[in-house]
Amino acid sequence: MVAITGASGSIYGIRLLRELPGEKILVISETAKKIIPRETGMSVKDVEALADKVFEDDDLFASISSGSFRYDCMFVAPCSESSVAKFASGVSDTLISRAVSVCMKEGRKVILVVRETPKSAIMLENELKLARCGVVIMDANPGFYPGPRSVDDMVKFVVGRCLDTAGISHELYRRWE
């Protein structure tokens, strides 16, 4: 499952949708729907077409809002610090925040590609709280040892690290030698 929230960096969620094997479920926040065309030149419909199933963020009756619905891993990419704060506080007022809450209570892997800098003490405390609950905090920080030559190379590195963390094989970047 991929959720795209209203932080800069929607390309991370889009690239994950392109790279993930198997059935892909997508939820896009209302703010992200405004950011996607500005940052990528893609329409929301183009992004939705990359998924097998799409839910609206206000659909709290969607199957993914229940712990009985099975999926392997949830990526929130990019993840706004506002979303991090909701997740850390247990606020489940959108489908994205409810799905994260369900993953946490069910012991499923949650990977947040946080896209904010610098960070305040409150942001760091929220991330620490989630990390202590087993959530993976994956800041969108590309490595430079693979010798990136383009923005796409840097995106592939971050997405590749997400896939590594989820145990999914890929060849998106050259590994440390």
Computed over every residue of the chain, the mean pLDDT equals 96
Question: How many domains is the chain built from?
Answer: 1
Q: What is the pLDDT of residue 159?
A: 97
Please state the pTM of the whole predicted model: 0.96
Output the domain CATH number for residue 40: 3.40.50.1950
Q: With bands split at pLDDT 50, 70 and 90, how would you rate the model's confidence at 122? A: very high
Q: Which two tokens stand for residue 43?
A: 């329409």
Q: What is the dihedral of CA 6, 38, 157, 23, to 10 degrees?
A: 70
Asked if the structure places residue 99 within a domain, the reply is yes
In angstroms, the CA 28 to CA 157 distance is 23
50-83, pLDDT tens digit by residue? Answer: 999 999 999 999 999 999 998 889 999 999 999 9
pLDDT tier, 43 (very low <50, low <70, confident <90, very high otherwise): very high
What's the pLDDT at 177?
82
On whether residue 24 sits in a domain, the answer given is: yes
CB within 8 Å of 52: residues ≥ 6 apart: 23, 24, 25
Residue-wise pLDDT tens digits, 123-164: 999 999 999 999 999 999 999 999 999 999 999 999 999 999
Whether 100 is covered by a domain: the verdict is: yes
Inside any domain, residue 177: no
Q: State the burial class of residue 177 (Cβ atoms within 10 Å of its Cβ: 0-12, 13-18, 19+).
A: exposed
Tell me phi and psi for residue 76, to 5 degrees: -115, 105
Name beta bridge partners: 28.
4, 56
* Residue at token pair 């963390």: 165
> Domain limits at 128?
2-165
Closest CA to 76 of 43, 53, 120, 109: 109
Contact 18, 75 (CB under 8 A): no
Question: Is residue 104 included in any domain, yes or no?
Answer: yes
Domain for residue 64, yes or no? yes
